[in-house]
Amino acid sequence: MITVPTNFNDKQKAALVEAAAGAKIEVLQLISEPVAAVLAYDARPEAEIKDKIVVVADLGGTRSDVTVLASRGGIYTILATAHDYEFQGAALDKVLMDHFAKEFLKRHPGSDPRESARSLAKLKQEAEATKKALSLGTNASFSVESLVEGIDFASTINRLRYETIARTVFEGFNRLVESVVKKAGLDVLDVDEVILSGGTAHTPRIAANFGYIFPASTAILAPSTTPSAINPSELQARGAALQASLIQEYEADDIDQSTHAAVTTVPHVTNAIGVVSLSPSGEEIFVPIVQPETAVPARRTVHVAAPKDGGDVLIKVVEGNTHIKVTKPEPKTKENGDSKAAKVEDADEEEDSDFSDSEDEEEEKREKVWKIGSTLAEAAIRGVKKGGKVEVTINVNADLTVVVTTREVGAKGGVRGTI
């Protein structure tokens, strides 16, 4: 079982399989690296399999790959990807290399360790070791014997200083993730999980920054934020091993058929399909049954509560999509002092108050809400018992036709229609 980047074409995959065959390695299947990362988490005994949107940030030494996936009914669908060669682990190494090279120049003017290939190699090796040490602790030492012309060099750095000088690189990781979420046509509020993979994902600042980008409801799965997180360096290997254990009993022909493009490349619904329900205040709200980006064919069922006294129930099946509702706080009125002298005495307090007020005015409340779209079908269920429920089943076929079945829970018959 071999994991491959999402941008590998058929020719590259064939070459990889051929190389493995030359090494006498039997390849059962090739799976995408982000899918393997998600599988490693979803296969844990305590994991809850549910529909969700996942961002996998694979941060390696020479390249960063970010992928947005939709998990629907245990099926993973890649919505958007991005590959970046500018912001990766080597960029963090270079920041430390430049920092200590400048410090060496201050002590020994005219001797730049970056101008010698041997000195540069020593500088790079120790910078990488220092970066790893700062991922585990708050302080790290930097020591190189005979860095330039027999001159030994030793220094120290703390995590705060490291995060300050590497701020540009960390901001690059943030922009990369945000751009892929936007590329998928989603908002950060749509994301349920962020999985950090790759060696660079051990850096605590990266996970902390992602925690500021995404809402509190989004789980950031990284060693520094989640104690039970899987080692990012082993994540893809674990996912591949789990997939291998699942299919090792199958024949090669069965595996080929299950991974054929006709099977893996299937249409998906664009908008959600659900029913309209009434809130306690009498407002219509959308209850999703089939989530957007669900691969078809798909079948989902939901129970809708009937009125307390029972009676006839009208089920309205509609399309729905999400949008971000932005609520701006009302500007606060400022109270004037009784006299000019009082204002002068409390100048500092007023400045602090003005500053906090301006911050409050800038803050906006953003929330994801469902928007009711076009009506697909309406079905009337008559004579529902007191306290009863209506079962609504949405069946989306491979040709994207929708079959709606509604009936009272526990009753015979019902209403069925095809859209």
293 assigned to some structural domain: yes
pTM comes to 0.73
Same domain, 113 and 209: no
256 assigned to some structural domain: no
* pLDDT at 141 > cutoff 90: yes
Same domain, 155 and 108: yes
Q: For residue 204, what are its two tokens? A: 């605590």
205 assigned to some structural domain: yes
Same domain, 313 and 405: yes
Contact assessment for residue 60 and residue 199, using Cβ atoms and an 8 Å cutoff: yes
94 assigned to some structural domain: yes
Q: What CATH number should be reported for the domain holding residue 213? A: 3.30.420.40
**pLDDT tens, position by position, 26-49:** 888 888 999 999 999 998 888 888
Q: Which domain holds residue 404?
A: 272-334+365-418
Same domain, 215 and 103: no
Residue that finishes a domain, picked among 247, 264, 284? 247
Q: Could you tell me the pLDDT band of residue 105, with boundaries at 50, 70 and 90?
A: very high
Q: What CATH number should be reported for the domain holding residue 296? A: 2.60.34.10
Q: What is the reported pLDDT for 347?
A: 44
* pLDDT at 235 > cutoff 50: yes
Q: What residues have CB less than 8 Å from 362, skipping those under 6 apart?
A: none
Of 294, 292, 281, 285, the C-alpha closest to 316 is: 285
Q: Could you tell me the pLDDT band of residue 244, with boundaries at 50, 70 and 90?
A: confident
9 assigned to some structural domain: no
- How do strand 151-158 and strand 139-148 relate by DSSP bridges? antiparallel
Q: What residues have CB less than 8 Å from 286, skipping those under 6 apart?
A: 272, 274, 275, 276, 277, 318, 320, 370, 371, 372
Q: Could you tell me the pLDDT band of residue 413, with boundaries at 50, 70 and 90?
A: confident
* Strand arrangement of the beta sheet that strand 64-72 belongs to: 75-84, 64-72, 52-59, 193-197, 219-221
Q: What is the reported pLDDT for 350?
A: 43
Same domain, 278 and 295: yes
- How do strand 389-396 and strand 402-408 relate by DSSP bridges? antiparallel
**Angle between helix 33-42 and helix 235-247 axes, rounded to 10 deg:** 80
* pLDDT at 377 > cutoff 80: yes
Residue type, 153: F
| Overall domain count for the chain | 3
Residue that finishes a domain, picked among 119, 139, 167? 167
pLDDT-wise least confident of 81-95, 190-204, 207-221, 241-255: 241-255
Q: What CATH number should be reported for the domain holding residue 156? A: 3.90.640.10
Same domain, 297 and 369: yes
Residue that finishes a domain, picked among 151, 167, 183? 167
Q: What is the reported pLDDT for 349?
A: 44
Of 241, 242, 258, the C-alpha closest to 250 is: 258
φ, ψ of residue 369 to 5 degrees: the values are -130, 155
Q: Which residue has the higher pLDDT, 358 or 151?
A: 151
**pLDDT tens, position by position, 388-404:** 888 899 998 888 889 99
Same domain, 127 and 138: yes
Same domain, 195 and 53: yes
**pLDDT tens, position by position, 263-315:** 445 677 778 898 887 766 667 888 888 888 777 788 888 888 887 777 888 88
DSSP notation for 185-225: T--GGG--EEEEESGGGG-HHHHHHHHHHS-TTSEEESTTT
Same domain, 99 and 75: no
What DSSP element (H or E) covers 95? helix 89-107
Contact assessment for residue 182 and residue 221, using Cβ atoms and an 8 Å cutoff: no
Q: Could you tell me the pLDDT band of residue 362, with boundaries at 50, 70 and 90?
A: low
Same domain, 400 and 329: yes
* pLDDT at 337 > cutoff 60: no
Report, as an integer, the average pLDDT of 364-369: 74
137 assigned to some structural domain: yes
Q: Could you tell me the pLDDT band of residue 110, with boundaries at 50, 70 and 90?
A: confident
**pLDDT tens, position by position, 304-336:** 888 777 788 888 899 887 777 777 776 665 555
350 assigned to some structural domain: no
386 assigned to some structural domain: yes
Helix, strand or coil for residue 165? helix
d(CA 98, CA 90): 12
Q: For residue 11, what are its two tokens? A: 């020719």
Same domain, 161 and 189: no
Q: Could you tell me the pLDDT band of residue 50, with boundaries at 50, 70 and 90?
A: confident
Same domain, 148 and 294: no
Counting residues of the chain whose pLDDT is more than 70, the rounded percentage is: 86
